[in-house]
């Protein structure tokens, strides 16, 4: 049975991490190999070392060299077989054996311990490095004491000096190694945070994903973020990721402002770390750090504020950071832990995380707003298209049927010619509706050009409605197909308005185009309206469509009873 894709496919980050680990392991194995065989070579050149149990020391050091060679071969061929965390402790056991076989605390193999401390510190951080340091120093002291000659020649100063050096230098190595590991983990987290999530789901899933990563990064009990609801000052949204929640889930709920203020009553410019009295090592007073994020400096904590917040959060320790975007606060972060302590440097890091995240959230909001605006504009455009391409033709058919009915009722004369014209008109309009549907589906790849479409429309109005339409091009029209389609709809609506709202018999369509503006004029020769409508009709559909295109439409009336609809569209 073949494996499925998720079982055999690894992410790019996992591949990079695996590759780096392999390189590191090969380097460590090579250094161990060099250290082992060079030590054997050095004591061979200097017969004074070791000074006792020489044969056993040579055997042990040779075995360590062979052991190092085997590890180096595995590091090259099969890194995954190496028990990496155990190797440090195996090295410590080798070094203790060599020290016991040689000169105790005066043994030259004392310096080997720093190799194990360096590996543990720079691979797994301060805690691992410090553990190796303490264990090595204690066992080195014990073995040195047991193998020492407690006689007049016993040198207490040398006996104490090396274990102290081992503790001090080992602690420094563990500290620096831990800082480097922490910085690498922070950089990796920042790299993950700035990856743009799917903007279709909004800002809350993006915030929730960051919360889960932060909670896992600190191994915190809970991570909470309180965000102000957009355009609603009376409600806030509380997001929470907890250790005991279902993996991958983030709780989200809208809470009233009164409840949110229980967690938002800190000044906007202050971040704080509260470290309780502890359980294993109780302190008389709790520690708290107040940090002004604007001034970038610490300030005095207000008595009782941190304890009150800790009680509300039901936490032994917590960190709280305000979230800003362009100096405007949009929420606050809380992370709590029952054990372990947050460090003052965590405030700066958390601020940096959300400084990276805030522009992404802003972009997601902008995309969401643009999508909503685009959808609304598309609905408006479709409404105008349906009005012009669907409703208007049916109104024309209605008027024609009404004329035929009146003709039959008045004199009962033959209406065969009128019915035939109506049938042809219906066929043309059905073809037009089919074209409209094809345009909606995006199936029309080669639409007719502007002049051909204008000629077709004017011919229909001349034939069906008896309105003599003339088209004038004052200069060359150079516009794209999308704008041409909108212009065709404007002309159709303009001629339909002339037919419905005036008794005009003549109309002129005039094009005037320059580098920045297309000017379209639809003129008719009769200002007197029908059906008691106002003499100066304001075409709403034309006005809305022109505004949608970024232009404007206005109606002018001349002294000789001509009405002109003037449309200006920027190009």
Q: Is the pLDDT of residue 178 over 70?
A: yes
The whole-number pLDDT of residue 196 equals 61
Reduced to 3 states (helix: H, G, I; strand: E, B; else coil), residue 384 is helix
Q: Is 440 helix (H, G, I), strand (E, B) or coil?
A: helix
Instruction: Name the token pair of 156.
Output: 């207490």
pLDDT band of 515, cuts 50, 70, 90: confident
Residue 7 clears pLDDT 50, i.e. is over it = no
Are 199 and 209 spatial neighbours (Cβ–Cβ below 8 Å)? Answer: no
* Topology (CATH level 3) of domain 380-570: Heat Shock Protein 90 (3.30.565)
Report the chain's mean pLDDT, rounded to a whole number: 77
* Two tokens, residue 504: 């005009």
Task: Quick: pLDDT tens for 326-369.
Answer: 777 888 899 888 765 688 888 888 888 888 887 777 777 776 66
Find which of 126-135, 151-160, 389-398 is predicted with most confidence, using mean pLDDT. 126-135
pLDDT of residue 366: 74
Q: What is the pLDDT of residue 161?
A: 84
Q: Which CATH architecture has domain 201-370?
A: 2-Layer Sandwich (3.30)
Token representation of residue 302: 């207000």
pLDDT in tens, 462-471: 877 778 889 9
Q: What is the mean pLDDT of residues 228-245?
A: 77
pLDDT for the residue 533 = 47
Q: Percent of the chain beyond pLDDT 90?
A: 10
DSSP state of 502: B
Segment 534-559 shows an average pLDDT of 79
Indicate the pLDDT class of residue 167, thresholds 50, 70 and 90: very high
> Which residue bears the tokens 């720079």?
122
Whether the pLDDT of residue 490 is over 90: the answer is no
If you average pLDDT over residues 553-566, what whole number do you get?
A: 84
Query: What is the spatial distance between Cα 265 and Cα 295, in angstroms, rounded to a whole number?
Result: 20
Other Cβ atoms within 10 Å of 16 Cβ, number: 12
Q: What is the pLDDT of residue 534?
A: 47
pLDDT at 44 > cutoff 70: yes
Number of C-beta neighbours around residue 565 at 10 A: 25
When pLDDT is cut at 50, 70 and 90, the band that residue 15 belongs to is very low
Tell me which of 18 and 425 has the higher pLDDT: 425
DSSP codes joined into one string, 543-555: HHHHHHTT-EEEE
Give 444 or 38, the one with higher predicted confidence: 38
Provide the whole-model pTM: 0.57
The answer to whether residues 245 and 252 touch, using CB atoms and an 8 Å cutoff, is no
Q: Is the pLDDT of residue 399 over 80?
A: no
Burial 54-72 (b: 16+ CB within 10 A, else e): eeebeebbeebbebbeebb
For 464, 527, 530, 532, the CA distances from 555, given in Å and listed in that order, are 26, 11, 17, 19
Q: Is the peptide bond before 218 cis (omega within 30 degrees of 0)?
A: no
Nearest Cα neighbor of 372 from 212, 200, 227 is 200
pLDDT tops 60 at residue 18: no
Q: Which pLDDT value is given to residue 132?
A: 94
Distance, in Å, from the CA atom of 487 to the CA atom of 450, rounded to the nearest integer, reads 8
Q: Write the pLDDT tens digit of every residue in 86-138.
A: 888 999 999 988 888 876 656 778 889 999 999 999 888 898 999 999 999 99
Contact 57, 96 (CB under 8 A): no
Query: What's the angle, vertex CA 39, arms to CA 181 and CA 56, rounded to 5?
Result: 115
- Name the burial class of residue 478, with classes exposed (0-12), middle (13-18) and buried (19+) by CB atoms within 10 angstroms of its CB: exposed
Cα 81 to the chain's mean position, in Å?
37
Structural domain boundaries in the chain: 11-192, 201-370, 380-570
Tokens of 442: 């995006």
**Beta carbons of 228 and 264 less than 8 angstroms apart:** no
pLDDT of residue 427: 63
Q: Strands 506-513, 468-473: parallel, antiparallel or unpaired by DSSP?
A: parallel
User: Which residue intervals of 46-155 are DSSP H helices?
Assistant: 54-77, 84-101, 113-124, 126-147
Cα–Cα distance measured from residue 377 to residue 16, given in angstroms and rounded to the nearest whole number: 45
pLDDT of residue 148: 67
**What is the rounded distance in angstroms from the CA atom of residue 3 to the CA atom of residue 169?**
50
> Of 45-49, 53-57, 282-286, 330-334, which one has max mean pLDDT?
330-334
Which pLDDT does position 14 carry in this prediction? Answer: 44
Better-predicted residue by pLDDT, 52 or 312: 312
- As a whole number of Å, the CA-based R_g of the chain is 42
């Amino acid at each position: 049975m073949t494996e499925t894709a998720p079982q055999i496919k690894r992410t790019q980050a996992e591949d990079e991490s695996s590759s780096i680990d392999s390189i590191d392991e090969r380097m460590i194995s090579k250094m161990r190999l060099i250290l082992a065989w060079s030590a054997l070579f050095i004591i061979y050149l200097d017969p004074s070392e070791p000074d006792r149990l020489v044969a056993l020391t040579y055997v042990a050091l040779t075995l360590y060299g062979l052991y190092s060679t085997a590890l180096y071969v595995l590091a090259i061929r099969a890194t995954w077989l190496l028990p990496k965390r155990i190797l440090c402790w195996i090295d410590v056991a080798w070094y203790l054996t060599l020290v016991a076989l040689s000169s105790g605390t005066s043994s030259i193999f004392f310096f080997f311990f720093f190799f194990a401390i360096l590996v543990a510190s720079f691979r797994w951080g301060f805690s691992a490095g410090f553990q190796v340091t303490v264990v090595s120093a204690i066992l080195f002291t014990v073995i040195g004491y047991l193998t020492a000659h407690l006689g007049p020649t016993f040198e207490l100063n040398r006996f104490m000096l090396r274990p102290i050096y081992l503790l001090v230098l080992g602690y420094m190595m563990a500290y620096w190694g831990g800082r480097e590991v922490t910085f690498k983990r922070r950089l990796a987290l920042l790299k993950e945070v700035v990856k743009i999530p799917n903007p279709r789901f909004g800002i809350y899933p993006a915030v929730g994903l960051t919360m889960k990563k932060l909670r896992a990064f600190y191994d915190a009990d809970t991570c909470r973020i309180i965000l102000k609801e957009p355009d609603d000052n009376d409600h806030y949204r509380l997001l929470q990721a907890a250790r005991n929640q279902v993996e991958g889930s983030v709780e989200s709920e809208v809470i009233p402002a009164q409840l949110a203020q229980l967690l938002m009553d800190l000044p906007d410019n202050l971040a704080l770390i509260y470290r309780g009295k502890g359980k294993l090592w109780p302190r008389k007073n709790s520690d708290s750090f107040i940090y002004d994020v604007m001034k970038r400096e610490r300030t005095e904590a207000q008595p009782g504020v941190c304890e009150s917040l800790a009680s509300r959060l039901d936490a032994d320790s917590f960190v709280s950071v305000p979230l800003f975007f362009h100096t405007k606060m949009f929420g606050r972060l809380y992370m709590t832990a029952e054990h372990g302590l947050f460090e003052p440097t965590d405030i700066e890091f958390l601020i940096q995380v959300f400084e990276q995240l805030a522009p992404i959230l802003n972009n997601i909001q902008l995309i969401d707003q643009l999508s909503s605006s685009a959808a609304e504009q598309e609905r408006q455009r479709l409404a105008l298209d349906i009005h012009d391409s669907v409703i208007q033709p049916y109104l024309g058919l209605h008027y024609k049927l009404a004329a035929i009915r009146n003709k039959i009722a008045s004199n009962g004369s033959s209406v065969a010619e009128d019915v035939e014209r109506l049938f042809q008109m219906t066929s043309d309009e059905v073809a037009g509706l089919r074209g409209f549907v094809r345009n909606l589906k995006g199936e029309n790849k080669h639409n007719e050009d502007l002049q051909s479409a204008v000629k077709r429309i004017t011919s229909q109005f001349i034939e069906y409605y008896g309105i003599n339409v003339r088209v004038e091009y004052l200069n060359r029209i150079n516009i794209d197909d999308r704008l041409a389609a909108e212009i065709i709809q404007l002309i159709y609506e303009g001629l339909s308005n002339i037919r419905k709202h005036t008794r005009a018999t003549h109309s002129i369509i005039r094009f005037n185009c320059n580098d920045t503006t297309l000017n379209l004029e639809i003129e008719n020769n009769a200002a007197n309206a029908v059906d008691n409508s106002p003499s100066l009709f304001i075409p709403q559909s034309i006005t809305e469509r022109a505004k949608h295109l970024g232009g404007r439409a206005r109606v002018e009336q001349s002294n000789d009873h001509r009405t002109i609809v003037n449309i200006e569209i920027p190009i």
